[in-house]
Amino acid sequence: MTKIKSLHAREILDSRGNPTLEAEVRLASGAFGRAAVPSGASTGSREAIELRDGDPKRFLGRGVQGAVNNVNGTIARALAGFDVADQEVLDRRLIELDGSPNKGRLGANALLGVSLAAAHAMAAHRGQALWQRLAEIAGTGETPQLPVPMMNIINGGAHADNSVDMQEFMIVPWGRESFAEALRCAVEIFHTLKSVLKKRGLSTAVGDEGGFAPDLPSNEAAIEVILEAIEKSGYRAGQDVSLALDTASSEFFRDGRYHLESEGKSYEPDAFAEYLAGWVRQYPIVSVEDGMAEDDWDGWATLTRLVGDRCQLVGDDLYVTNTEIFRRGIELGITNSILIKLNQIGTLTETLEAIAMAKAAGYSAVISHRSGETEDTTIADLAVATTATQIKTGSLCRSDRVAKYNQLLRIEEALGPRGSFAGRGAFSHIRNWS
């Protein structure tokens, strides 16, 4: 009854108007699962390969019909009658079918779509919520926890067409009693920030992830304007809500230096690490993602030495959800957290392995969206199922972002007293975090 009866993929559009892949799995029992694959703007060079057609006459080269054909052809034939009850066996078969070190033959987008759709179908077969099925696969049991959201309310870098070099300036409403209250806090700050920007005559247009994208005189000005919005909303920075950054430093690391074009400055790695450390000391910043470039391991070591005991340091481009690379970081003692993006590695099983590795090492795992998203809400269930304690899925507008928050609200309501909110405990892995 849990064997694959049919498998189908199609092209759909993501939140940036680019094609992406959606997969559907139907089981012999009639149970059905569907999943859509996200896509990134700033991508790590070691990510699994997202297969694009490259035909300039079709979607300007961004089509994914080749990946769709791989699902409907090679993968569908190989998985006909395959039992999806064991997710790991299914995913290992997908990896074997691709046969390349980076999933570049069939495409990580093809493999991930099938992997996730199968999990959805199995949940439907058992009459489970998706998070319950994912918890079974992950081995976390019936101990769900609502994650602390990290909301990107000012966009810069590759996510916006403005003067800000750094990619994401986030609020972290960790001091509330429930996810619903954390979301309300963030919404109020978001709308207050819009008013603050308007009064300054600044743009309130939004970037890829729904955050505002104003032209500001410096990167630090983004922090200052958010702090003003927090205060005017009636919340206490550092207590009710803190700040987080995704500097996406690989995007402005060239010739061994970090170039902040909006400020007309460039820094040697040690100096840039000290620059960021100065912010952590001055402002209520609880997390910095991609503070150093993906190839600057020495720079990461410096940043970790400077503030790793008082701030979450998240590796995204550095680790690309890859356990082999992540293991090296753990052994070197750099960072204290990993960003988890399903499409960086290409299967659900490998994603769960990265989360498990983080927990075993005393690192946190932050479940994340991509800048090119869809209405798919799988990552919301993943965050609850794995008790990852943190989720990063954009700002408080654009339905592709809000869909994940709404799913978390539904899960919290359904769980009732069984579902706790991670709150400040999400950052307890940082020795001097308070």
Angle of helix 399-415 relative to helix 179-199, nearest 10 degrees? 150
Q: Based on the fold, state whether residues 108 and 160 are members of the same structural domain.
A: no
Distance between alpha carbon 285 and the CA centroid of its chain, in Å? 19
Residue (of 9, 7, 137, 33) closest to 85 by Cα position: 137
From 103, 341, 392, 404, active-site residue: 341
Q: Which tokens sit at 162?
A: 């403005």
The pLDDT value given to residue 184: 98
Rg of the chain, C-alpha, whole Å: 21
The 10s digit of each residue's pLDDT in 325-354 is: 999 999 999 999 999 999 999 999 999 999
Residue 235 lies in a domain: yes
Residue 134 lies in a domain: no
Which helix (H) or strand (E) is 339 found in, with range?
Answer: strand 337-340
Residue 186 lies in a domain: yes
Q: Give the residue numbers spanning the domain of 324.
A: 145-427
* Domain containing residue 123: CATH number: 3.30.390.10
Q: Which of 93, 127, 161 is the last residue of a domain?
A: 127
Instruction: Tell me if residue 209 is catalytic.
Output: yes
Residue 152 lies in a domain: yes
Angle (nearest 5°) at CA 389 between 45 and 415: 130
Q: Based on the fold, state whether residues 8 and 121 are members of the same structural domain.
A: yes
* Pair type for strands 145-146 and 4-13: unpaired
The pLDDT value given to residue 3: 98
Q: Based on the fold, state whether residues 154 and 56 are members of the same structural domain.
A: no
Q: Based on the fold, state whether residues 203 and 341 are members of the same structural domain.
A: yes
* Domain containing residue 164: CATH number: 3.20.20.120
Which residues of the chain register pLDDT less than 50?
Answer: 159
Question: CA separation (Å) from 69 to 7, 51, 137, 389, 421?
Answer: 11, 11, 28, 37, 42
Q: Based on the fold, state whether residues 165 and 17 are members of the same structural domain.
A: no
* The total number of structural domains that make up the chain: 2
Q: Which residue has the tokens 């990619």?
A: 167
Residue 81 lies in a domain: yes
The pLDDT value given to residue 143: 81
Q: Based on the fold, state whether residues 261 and 313 are members of the same structural domain.
A: yes
* Residue 64 near residue 19, CB atoms below 8 Å: yes
Question: Global pTM?
Answer: 0.95
Q: Based on the fold, state whether residues 160 and 305 are members of the same structural domain.
A: yes
The pLDDT value given to residue 285: 98
Q: Based on the fold, state whether residues 279 and 234 are members of the same structural domain.
A: yes
Instruction: For residue 244, report the phi and psi dihedrals to the nearest 5 degrees.
Output: -145, 150
From 24, 136, 209, 353, active-site residue: 209
Q: Based on the fold, state whether residues 387 and 339 are members of the same structural domain.
A: yes
Q: Based on the fold, state whether residues 282 and 416 are members of the same structural domain.
A: yes
The 10s digit of each residue's pLDDT in 118-154 is: 999 999 999 999 999 999 999 987 689 999 999 999 9
Q: Based on the fold, state whether residues 181 and 213 are members of the same structural domain.
A: yes
How many Å apart are CA 98 and CA 120, to the nearest integer? 22
Residue 383 lies in a domain: yes
Q: Which tokens sit at 31?
A: 């149970």
Residue 325 lies in a domain: yes
Q: Which of 127, 154, 174 is the last residue of a domain?
A: 127
The pLDDT value given to residue 46: 83
Q: Based on the fold, state whether residues 9 and 156 are members of the same structural domain.
A: no
Residue 372 lies in a domain: yes
Using DSSP's 3-state secondary structure scheme, residue 133 falls into helix
Instruction: Tell me if residue 392 is catalytic.
Output: no
